[in-house]
Amino acid sequence: MSTATETRHLHAVELADPGYAESGLADPAAEQVVLGMMMGLPRIVDDVVDILQAGHFNSPKHGRIFGAITGLWASGEPTDAVAVARALDESGDLKRIGGGPYLHTLLARATTSGTAGYHAGIVLDWAQRRQLYEAGLRIVQVSQSLQTPTSEVIDDAQRAVHEATVERTSGSLAAFSEFGDDELAHLERIIAGEIPRGLSSGLAALDDLLGGFLPGQLIIPAGRPGSGKSTLGLQFAVAAARAGHPAIVFTLEMSRRELTWRLLSSVAGINLSAFTSGHLNSDQMAKARAASQMIAKWPLHIDDRTNTVAGIRTETRRFRQRHGALGLVYADYLQRFVPTRKFDRKDLEVGTHAKELKTLGQELEVPMIVPSQLNRGSESRTDKIPQLSDMRDSGEVEQEADVVILIHRPDYYDAESPRAGEADLIVAKNRNGPKETVTVASKLHVAQFADMGMFP
C-alpha cells in the first residue's frame, strides 16, 4: 500500500476512542501513527523529537504518551508498548490514556519508518493552526475591551502569530567535539582580519575595542543635547547598510527630510548648514545627487512616524517576515518614546523601554542602537567628563545595556579648547570586554565622526 493510500485509509478509519477529538483542528490519525511508530520503531524517536513536543499533540492523552516515550528514550530505556505502559502506570496516567489496549491500538496504526517525519509534520502543522485559532479568539476578546490600548492589542496579535509560525529548529545540544574545530577556524579568520567579529561601527578605533556589534546587543550612545549622540547612532546604522546589512532607522526627533539632509551631508561632505538654509550651489547639488544615488543602493529604511516600542516591534517583525533578513535597528532616542501605559516615575518608564528593546533585539537577533540623553551632572565637574551615573532617568538602562558609549567633546564647553574638533567616545560599559576611551575626530558640520587622521 502506498504512503498516500495508506494515509487516506487511516483517516477514513473510525477511531477506537469516540471521545478522542478535543478540537476539530487536528489530525487524529497522524497523531496515532507517530506514537505507534515511536513504540514500534525506536530508532525513529531521534527524528520525531527534533520536530515535536508533547504540547503539539491535540489530545492530552497523546501528549502523556509522548512524554512517557521520550522519557524512556532519554534514559536509554526501551520504548516498546510494554515499557511505555509500565512508565504510564508508575505516573498514574495509564488509566487516563485508555490502558494497555489503547497502546496496542496505536501500534496497529504504525506504518513504515520512512513516513515518520511526514506524519510528525502533519501533527506540527495542526498544532500551529490551533495556536493561530486560539490567538485569534484572544485577540477578538482583547480588542473588544476599550481599556486595552490598540498598540498592545496589535503587539499581542503579532507576538501570537510569530510564536505560532516561527520556524521550529532541532535541539541545540551538541558535544564540543562537534563544533570546536569550526569555532577555532572562525576565530582564526577574525584574527587574520578576514571577517569582523560583529557589525562594524564604521569607526576602526571603536571596532578594535568592541569587535563590532553583536546580534541581540543593546548599544547606547549617550550624551548631552547637541553633543552628537544621534549623529553617532545614525553613523552606526549607515555603516551596517553600506556593508549590505539591512538597517531600519526610527527617528523620533527628526523628520525624514531632516534625516535625509544629514545623510547627504555626511556622504557628500557638504556642510549641514547648506541644507538647513537651502543655499546649495550647483557643485554641491551635483554632489548631493550623486550621494543620493549611492544611498539608494543601500538597504537603509527610515520610519519617522513610529514613536512607541510596541510600534517598533510591529514594524521590525513585519520587515523580518517580508524580507527574511535584518542587520541592525536604530531608534533615536530612549527618552522620546511615548509610553502605552502609565508609569509612576519617568525612570521606570525609560527602564521598561530599554528592557523591551533589549528583548526585541534578542528575538530578532540584531544589534539595537538606542541613544540616550545625559543629565547635567558632568557640567558640575571641573573636567566635564560624563559618567554612567549621568544617564538621565537611567532606571534599568545601565543593567540592560551591553555597551554604553558616553560622548565627551572638549569644544562643547570651550570653543577655544586645544582639543577642538576631537571627541572622546568613553566606553563606560562593555559587557564582553574592556572599558576604555577612543578618541575620534568630531565633524558634526558634515554630520559625522571619523577616525583620527582619516578625513574624506
Q: What one-character-per-residue DSSP string does 421-437 give? A: TEEEEEEEEETTS---E
* Intervals of CATH 3.40.50.300 along the chain: 196-451
Q: Please check the confidence at residue 2 and state whether its pLDDT lies above 50.
A: no
Cell of residue 270, nine digits = 557638504
Q: Is 313 exposed, middle or buried (0-12, 13-18, 19+ CB in 10 A)?
A: buried
CA distance linking residue 46 with residue 40, whole number of Å: 13
Of 304, 222, 220, the closest CA to residue 262 belongs to 304
Q: Give the helix ranges, DSSP H, for 324-401.
A: 346-364, 397-400
Q: Which one is predicted more confidently, 291 or 191?
A: 291
pLDDT confidence bin for 221, thresholds 50/70/90: very high
Predicted TM-score of the model (pTM): 0.64
Give the span between the Cα atoms of 7 and 152, in whole angstroms: 43
Residues 10-47 have pLDDT tens digits of: 333 333 343 334 457 889 989 999 999 999 887 788 77
Q: State the CB neighbour count (10 A cutoff) for residue 177.
A: 7
Share of the chain above pLDDT 70, in %: 88
What confidence score (pLDDT) does residue 403 get? 95
Angle between helices 309-323 and 346-364 (to 10 degrees): 10
**Beta partners for 374?**
391
| pLDDT tens figures, 367-383 | 999 999 888 877 778 88
Angle at 444 between CA 443 and CA 448, to 5 degrees: 70
Positive/negative CA dihedral, 59, 65, 71, 75: negative
What pLDDT, on the 0 to 100 scale, is given for residue 131? 84
pLDDT confidence of residue 342: 78
Which among 45, 42, 62, 44 is positioned nearest to 54, based on CA atoms? 62
The three cell numbers of residue 161 are 502569530
What is the CATH number that goes with domain 196-451? 3.40.50.300
pLDDT band at 250 (very low <50, low <70, confident <90, very high): very high
pLDDT of residue 242: 94
CATH topology (fold) of 3-165: DNAb Helicase; Chain A (1.10.860)
- Is the pLDDT assigned to residue 426 strictly greater than 90? yes
pLDDT tens track for 288-305: 999 999 999 999 999 988
The C-alpha cell that represents 412 in the structure block: 562643547
pLDDT tens column, 273-287: 999 888 889 999 999
Q: What is the pLDDT of residue 19?
A: 37
**Where, residue-wise, is CATH 1.10.860.10 in the chain?**
3-165
pLDDT score recorded for residue 7: 39
